[in-house]
Structure 1
């Protein structure tokens, strides 16, 4: 009887796995972590700090009860099918590294000064824009515009490269949106950023 029960459960588990719909979803948490680390090293020379342990989490002094064989079978088969649904976000590619180096050099060389002055700000779509050209001396204005154009070219390439590196070019817009929010979160005090309506706000 026990053998028959295990056989029936195994058959049900296989049928259940066959019914699992494989939908590759955008890994938002992984994208957020990648954006934090990338932007942190560009603007501050540091990545995201590890989150502190939750002091309010209940202690687990006793180990969880052992699973029965039939339950273990379900645990192994069903999550295995679901795990195929969870993509890893690949960010470390030679192209991304090259973009990172250019952006870091540009930030230290000219972009930081433009952001500090308020001439340039972070836009709501993950780019930068000339907000007040009058804050840049006329003789330096052409170079400032070139800096903005170069930065935006690299940012667009970054979002596209991450999407393509993960074989999901359709993720580009979501990656851009995640980075756009994170650029603004990492903006220094006194910098200008666009709000959701596109209006400039000083942080």
Structure 2
């Protein structure tokens, strides 16, 4: 009986000392961002489906470790080993539909002309106002405002949907990189220093 009490006390001490680190699952976020961005660009006709050189072969599923007593006591410790990022919610699907419509409409032409580009913080901005006819500048600014409002809402919604509002800056950075990677050749983007470059 004494050994049983010692074992229970030891287990209780171990459980009390366990710290579960919640880290940002970068690889899962990149995969989720790539899928969302691909849906927007391909759905609008602004992008093309990924080719063989752009796609990575699927890796075999990782071998799952066997359950331990600690996993039974703290199941969240095991769940943190295989993170996933949730991007599909009613809010994000509505945002995706609006973004797809904008890209399928005027936004694609603005990118193709070089008038606008992707910023380093995951938004879009006027790069060369002289590429826009004077009578279309106000309309373009309204379009970019709507697009950026949706982008801000998207990054916030993804972070909140995953239970980590504090991840919003990392989500934004991941999406910013994804927009540039999936953009067609000839479109402009800002590098980390803010300089405009052409893809």
TM-score, normalised to structure 1, is 0.77
The alpha carbon displacement at 1:90 in A equals 2.1
Q: RMSD over aligned Cα, in angstroms?
A: 3.1
**Unaligned 5+ residue runs, structure 1?**
58-66
**Does the aligned pair in 2 maintain the 1:36–1:47 contact within 8 Å?**
no
Deviations 1:140-189 (A, max 9, x none): 11111111111111000100111122222111111101101111111110
The alpha carbon displacement at 1:130 in A equals 0.2
Residue 36 of structure 1 is matched in structure 2 by 34
Residue 190 of structure 2 is matched in structure 1 by 194
Give the match's secondary structure for 1:26: coil
The alpha carbon displacement at 1:73 in A equals 4.0
**Unaligned 5+ residue runs, structure 2?**
none
The one of 165, 181, 184 aligned to 2:180 = 184
In structure 2, how many angstroms separate the alpha carbons of the residues matched to 1:186 and 1:31?
15
Structural mapping, 1:42-57, within 5 Å: 42-45=40-43, 51-52=56-57
Residue 83 of structure 1 is matched in structure 2 by 78
Which one has the largest radius of gyration? 1
In structure 1, how many angstroms separate the alpha carbons of the residues matched to 2:72 and 2:8?
9
The alpha carbon displacement at 1:79 in A equals 8.7
In structure 1, how many angstroms separate the alpha carbons of the residues matched to 2:77 and 2:193?
38
**Does the aligned pair in 1 maintain the 2:71–2:78 contact within 8 Å?**
no
Give the match's secondary structure for 1:167: coil
In structure 2, how many angstroms separate the alpha carbons of the residues matched to 1:18 and 1:50?
44
Residue 60 of structure 1 is matched in structure 2 by none
In structure 2, how many angstroms separate the alpha carbons of the residues matched to 1:169 and 1:155?
15
